[in-house]
Amino acid sequence: MKVLQQRKTAGRLSPPYAVDECSSRGRLKPEPRDEFRSEFQRDRDRIVHSAAFRRLEYKTQVFVNHEGDMFRTRLTHSIEVAQIARTIARGLQLNEDLTEAIALAHDLGHTPFGHAGQDALNECMRDYGGFEHNLQSLRIVDLLEEKYAQFDGLNLTFETREGILKHCSKKNARGLGELGRRFIQGGQPSLEAQIANLADEIAYNNHDLDDALRAGLLQVEDLSQVSSFDERNQEVNEKWPGLPHRRVVHEIIRRMINHLVTDVLTTSKSAIDALDPKSVDDVRACGVPIVSFSDSMRDRHLELKRFLRQHVYRHYRVHRMTAKAKRVVSELFHSFMQDSRLLPPDARARVYDLERSMGENGRARVVADYIAGMTDRFAIAEHGRIFDPSRLT
Ligand code: MG
């Protein structure tokens, strides 16, 4: 009876391919169960209360944080991903708590200044094992959060950690045991993790478009060549001619998201019916993801992605920001590597620790952890404290 109740999701009996906490592979350090919350609710709660999650508020997506208060940050992005992911998870009768936990944690390891910061840090770390933001997210929840008396990190379940590690190089996967196996031998994560992954793509494409229109980098007319936008634009204009600009944009974008989500739901439902997986391990053994867009929707999604790359991410105003951001990250890294006494005391203590076991690679890893943990504004302030001579006094 107890098992039956726990297999129920939102009042329904969950299907055998949904992750079920009763068959979870558990936590690295075993803990007693909570009386009221599911294991994946506990994971979500630990993520929401983490320092890394709070810092997402001041980390960039595309537009540097202080450029304007109207734009998305990694925090609002993560909340939007969680909203989309939960809708899909509920539609497919999957584990909503797990899906939400993965979605909220998926960007924890991002550096300041979005992809520009990540590229710069990866370049700096080239001779010291590299920097991957997915792996950094895992490092945060497994090691870097300092919250608990009995363990480092947040001690999350295997299934949440599996979902957080979206990509990983084979070299790094070898050091991760069971969690890294699929990157070496092939295979997929749970359907809940696949949903969080796709919800991320849906969220960032559409809100980068929204932010770019708001920032004036694009005009609605420029998007006539993007079919998914153009069709929704015509729909809105026919239904509400003369609607004010901001409402037009919102009506178009919410319809675009709705189309994508509906497509993922129907396509994935058919794929699940055709494959008929009898367990989560059947899902993991699949050669390709089961949660996906239809082919025609994938083409449209890629068309929008290409448009954004060309017209937004490579826009000269964005490029100026990212070039500057890369310089900040790389100058901070090289200064700390040259002189670790520039680091605050707790980071310096970790340098001494890791240098003993890993040599110069250890020092570089601590510096990368320190920089990756910074918000945009903290990185700019820290750069000023180290390089700005007018701040000597
Ligand atoms: Mg994301």
Give the residue extent of every domain in the chain: 37-317, 318-387
Cβ atoms of 81 and 200 closer than 8 Å: yes
Residue 1 alpha carbon to ligand 1 centre in Å: 39
Residue 15 alpha carbon to ligand 1 centre in Å: 28
- Given this model, what pLDDT does residue 6 score? 45
Residue 320 alpha carbon to ligand 1 centre in Å: 22
Residue 358 alpha carbon to ligand 1 centre in Å: 31
What is the separation of C-alpha 385 from the centre of its chain, rounded to a whole number of angstroms? 30
Cβ atoms of 236 and 121 closer than 8 Å: no
- Tens digit of pLDDT per residue, the chain (393 long)? 344 444 444 455 789 999 999 889 999 999 999 999 999 999 999 999 999 999 999 887 766 555 555 678 899 999 999 999 999 999 999 999 999 999 999 999 999 998 899 999 999 999 999 999 999 999 999 999 999 999 999 999 999 999 999 988 888 889 888 899 999 989 999 999 999 999 999 999 999 999 899 888 899 999 999 999 999 999 999 999 999 999 999 999 999 999 999 999 999 999 999 999 999 999 999 989 999 999 999 999 999 999 999 998 888 888 888 898 999 999 999 999 999 999 999 999 999 999 999 999 999 999 999 999 999 999 999 999 999 888 765
Residue 204 alpha carbon to ligand 1 centre in Å: 7
- Given this model, what pLDDT does residue 318 score? 84
DSSP E strands in 137-296: the ranges are: none
Of 218, 259, 219, 252, the residue nearest 235 (C-alpha): 252
DSSP E strands in the chain: the ranges are: 8-9, 12-13
Residue 147 alpha carbon to ligand 1 centre in Å: 24
Residues 6 or more apart whose CB falls under 8 angstroms from that of 336 comprise 342, 343, 367, 370, 371
HSE toward the beta carbon, residue 198, CA cutoff 13 A: 30
Over its C-alpha atoms, the chain yields an Rg (Å, rounded) of 22
Residue 304 alpha carbon to ligand 1 centre in Å: 17
Of 146, 92, 150, the residue nearest 270 (C-alpha): 92
Of 204, 252, 265, the residue nearest 80 (C-alpha): 204
CA distances from 171 to 129, 130, 181, 203 (A): 9, 11, 11, 30
- Separation CA 107–CA 59 (nearest Å): 10
- Separation CA 383–CA 316 (nearest Å): 23
Of 72, 64, 68, 69, the residue nearest 206 (C-alpha): 72
Cβ atoms of 165 and 134 closer than 8 Å: yes
Cβ atoms of 382 and 328 closer than 8 Å: no
Residue 13 alpha carbon to ligand 1 centre in Å: 31
Token duo for residue 182 = 């699929």
Tell me the DSSP string of 142-161.
III----SS-SS---BHHHH
At 235, give phi and psi (nearest 5°).
-55, -50
- Separation CA 135–CA 109 (nearest Å): 7
Cβ atoms of 199 and 88 closer than 8 Å: yes
Residue 75 alpha carbon to ligand 1 centre in Å: 10
Residue 241 alpha carbon to ligand 1 centre in Å: 34
Residue 159 alpha carbon to ligand 1 centre in Å: 19
Residue 183 alpha carbon to ligand 1 centre in Å: 20
Token duo for residue 342 = 């520039």
Residue 16 alpha carbon to ligand 1 centre in Å: 28
- Given this model, what pLDDT does residue 10 score? 46
Token duo for residue 387 = 């390089």
- Given this model, what pLDDT does residue 391 score? 73
Residue 203 alpha carbon to ligand 1 centre in Å: 8
Token duo for residue 235 = 């729909």
Residue 207 alpha carbon to ligand 1 centre in Å: 11
HSE toward the beta carbon, residue 35, CA cutoff 13 A: 0
Residue 285 alpha carbon to ligand 1 centre in Å: 25
- Separation CA 340–CA 338 (nearest Å): 6
Residue with tokens 């290409």: 306
Classify domain 37-317 by CATH architecture.
Answer: Orthogonal Bundle (1.10)
Residue 107 alpha carbon to ligand 1 centre in Å: 5
Residue 390 alpha carbon to ligand 1 centre in Å: 37
